[in-house]
């Protein structure tokens, strides 16, 4: 079973809460705070496993949850951090955020590991909140939650050369004669239902990977036929060999076939239409009128394509085609689907997110944002010193000033998270 798309849910571990504890020993009845920090939550790490070929395992298991960090203890004992959860994926897996469609990671190197969901940070114990004026802090910071998200996994084959063309033009036959791959071959449309990979070896140490992409048809960019299921596998290829049936045995027109397939590639992904192509005019052994080949070759070469007349069945012209493809590949750079600078961009966007916002909902002033959630996890509102800490933090952050700009009056209600209080200047 070939599965090349999957959706799974990820939940990294939550950070453990910091502890509220005080040193209590004989002859030291009023020891200071010694609450330990909570442990960090476990990350979810994706790792390339060269033994995997499909995403079929993710059809049966769709939720991956990493362990939480443990709570801190007394005597400055920190909680144990949760272990990372390692998820193995095949080489060539692209990880996208389901909600935004953004690429999170491109797992295209042997042994590559990427953190896809980060565990939460452990909270501080009350030892960190002791000051000369607050010697008995009765509060600690709670751990932060781990990241959670739905992701889409797409398996994009790692091939140097992609064979494209209409169904039944000889792609599988060509792959079978130039490599050790043994795809199923028969004389009907959509013979190839799964992409096939083969290693093409020339001289010693000279080789490249070729992918037989299942036949495309008009409307493939919209998902017609095998459409989107297989177009994605062309995205990594550096060079395309476009195979056409020059014998036109089915009443097709070779030039029109080239136009249709290239139009489908461009409508699916504009970059694919710009990818270097070699035209392979196949089935010359079945061609009765050689002038048809000459007209086709003249037309394609006028468009800038290099054309090779071949017969995959008899291997005529195949060596020249493969040798030219290899020499062309040496001049082409790898295709980059994922820029490592992406994480820096995401990090900058996160930094630009405001720490809090103020809005009015009916007669209630609502204060929300990442800083609000963080401060609420850090305080014990039932403790007087902790409440004073909270009030100072709110004022220092500029929330009071922002509320006044929004027209708050004495006695108005303010909501922060799950708590509400009256505003008293």
pLDDT in tens, 96-119: 999 888 888 888 888 899 999 999
> Based on the domain organization, do 166 and 315 belong to the same domain?
yes
Query: Is 338 contained in some domain?
Result: no
Residue 216 has pLDDT above 60, yes or no: no
pLDDT above 60 (res 219): no
Local structure of 274: helix, strand or coil: helix
Residues 282, 263: one domain?
Answer: yes
pLDDT of the residue at 200: 87
In a domain, 399, yes or no: yes
pLDDT at position 87, please? 95
Is 273 found in the same domain as 374?
no
Write down which residue in 112, 137, 156 finishes a domain: 156
Note whether residue 211 is domain-resident: yes
- Give dist(CA 171, CA 240) in Å, integer: 12
Q: Are residues 301 and 359 in the same domain?
A: no
Is residue 8 assigned to a domain? yes
* Co-location of 67 and 147 in the same domain: yes
pLDDT digits (tens, 9 = 90+) for 339-392: 444 444 444 444 455 778 889 888 899 998 877 877 777 677 777 777 777 888
CATH code of the domain in which 140 resides: 2.70.210.12
Quick one: pLDDT at residue 328?
A: 94
pLDDT at 42: 96
The predicted-structure confidence for 244-260, as pLDDT tens digits, reads as follows 999 877 777 899 999 98
Domain co-membership, 125 together with 186:
no
Q: Is the dihedral of CA 261, 267, 272, 276 positive or negative?
A: positive
Query: Cα–chain-centroid distance for residue 89?
Result: 12
Q: How far, in Å, CA of 92 to CA of 322, rounded?
A: 24
Mean pLDDT of 227-256: 80
- pLDDT tens for residues 1-26? 455 789 999 999 999 999 988 887 77
pLDDT tier at 220 (50, 70, 90 boundaries)? very low
Cβ-proximal residues to 276 (8 Å cutoff; 6+ apart), any chain: 238, 239, 240, 328, 332
More confident residue, 89 or 167: 89
Average pLDDT over residues 59-68: 93
DSSP β-bridge partners for residue 114: 46
Mean pLDDT of 391-408: 87
Instruction: Give CA–CA dist 342/225, Å, rounded.
Output: 34
pLDDT, greater one: 86 or 127: 86
Sheet-wide strand order for 364-368: 357-361, 364-368, 413-416, 419-422
pLDDT score of 342: 47
What's the pTM?
0.65
Task: Report how far residue 231's alpha carbon sits from residue 265's, in angstroms, rounded to the nearest whole number.
Answer: 8
Q: How far is CA 199 from CA 108, 171, 205, 273, in A?
A: 17, 15, 12, 25
Q: What's the confidence (pLDDT) of residue 277?
A: 95
Note whether 71 and 48 are same-domain residues.
Answer: yes
Q: Count how many domains the chain has.
A: 3
Q: What is the CATH number of the domain that holds 400?
A: 3.30.300.350
Of the pLDDT bands very low, low, confident and very high (cuts 50, 70, 90), residue 30 is: low
Q: How far apart are CA 332 and CA 328, in angstroms?
A: 7
More confident site: 372 or 204 = 372
pLDDT of residue 29: 62
pLDDT number for residue 205: 64
Is pLDDT larger for residue 334 or for residue 137?
137
Domain finish residue from 116, 131, 156: 156
Let me know if residue 344 belongs to a domain. no
In a domain, 323, yes or no: yes
Confidence of residue 315 (pLDDT cuts 50, 70, 90): very high
Same domain, 3 and 94: yes
Judgement on whether residues 175 and 301 belong to the same structural domain of the protein: yes
Could you tell me if 4 and 59 lie in one domain?
Answer: yes
| Domain C-terminal end among 294, 329, 364 | 329
User: Is residue 325 domain-shared with residue 393, that is, in the same domain?
Assistant: no
**Choice among 33-47, 227-241, 294-308, 328-342 with the minimum mean pLDDT:** 328-342
pLDDT value for 204 = 63
Do 301 and 360 fall into the same domain? Answer: no
Per the structure, the complete domain to which residue 116 belongs is given by: 1-156
């Amino acid at each position: 079973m070939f599965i090349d798309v999957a959706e799974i849910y990820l939940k990294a571990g939550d950070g453990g809460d910091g502890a509220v504890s005080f040193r209590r020993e004989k002859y030291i009845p009023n020891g200071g705070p010694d609450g330990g920090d909570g442990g960090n939550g476990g990350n979810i790490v994706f790792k390339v496993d060269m033994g995997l070929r499909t995403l079929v395992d993710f059809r049966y298991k769709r939720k991956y949850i990493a362990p939480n960090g443990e709570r801190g203890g007394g005597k400055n004992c920190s909680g144990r951090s949760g272990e990372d959860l390692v998820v193995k994926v095949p080489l060539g897996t692209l990880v996208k955020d389901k909600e935004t469609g953004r690429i999170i990671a491109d797992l295209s190197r042997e042994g590559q590991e990427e953190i896809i969901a980060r565990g939460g940070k452990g909270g501080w114990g009350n030892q960190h909140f002791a000051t000369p004026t607050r010697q008995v802090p009765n509060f600690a910071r709670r751990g932060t939650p781990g990241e959670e998200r739905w992701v889409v996994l797409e398996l994009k084959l790692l091939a140097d050369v992609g064979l494209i063309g209409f169904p039944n033009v000889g792609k599988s036959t060509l792959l079978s004669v130039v490599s050790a791959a043994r795809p199923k071959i028969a004389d009907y449309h959509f013979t190839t239902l799964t992409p096939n990979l083969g290693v093409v070896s020339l001289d010693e140490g000279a080789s490249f990977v070729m992918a037989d992409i299942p036949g495309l048809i008009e409307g493939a960019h919209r998902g017609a036929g095998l459409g989107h299921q297989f177009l994605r596998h062309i995205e990594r290829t550096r060079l395309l060999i476009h195979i056409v049936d020059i014998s036109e045995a089915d009443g097709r027109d070779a030039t029109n076939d080239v136009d249709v397939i290239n139009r489908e590639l461009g409508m699916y992904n504009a970059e694919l239409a710009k990818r270097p192509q070699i035209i392979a005019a196949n089935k010359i052994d079945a061609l009765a009128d050689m002038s048809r080949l000459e007209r086709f070759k003249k037309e394609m070469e006028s468009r800038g394509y290099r054309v090779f007349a071949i017969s995959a069945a008899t291997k005529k012209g195949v060596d020249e085609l493969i040798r030219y493809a290899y020499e062309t590949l040496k001049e082409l750079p790898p295709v980059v689907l994922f820029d490592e600078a992406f994480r820096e961009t995401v990090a900058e966007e996160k930094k630009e997110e405001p720490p809090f916002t103020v809005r009015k909902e009916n007669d209630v002033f609502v204060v929300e944002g990442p800083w609000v959630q963080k401060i609420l996890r850090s305080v014990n509102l039932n403790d007087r010193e902790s409440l004073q800490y909270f009030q100072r933090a709110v004022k220092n952050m500029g929330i009071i000033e922002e509320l006044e700009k929004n027209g708050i009056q004495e006695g108005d209600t303010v909501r922060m998270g799950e708590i509400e209080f009256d505003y008293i200047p």
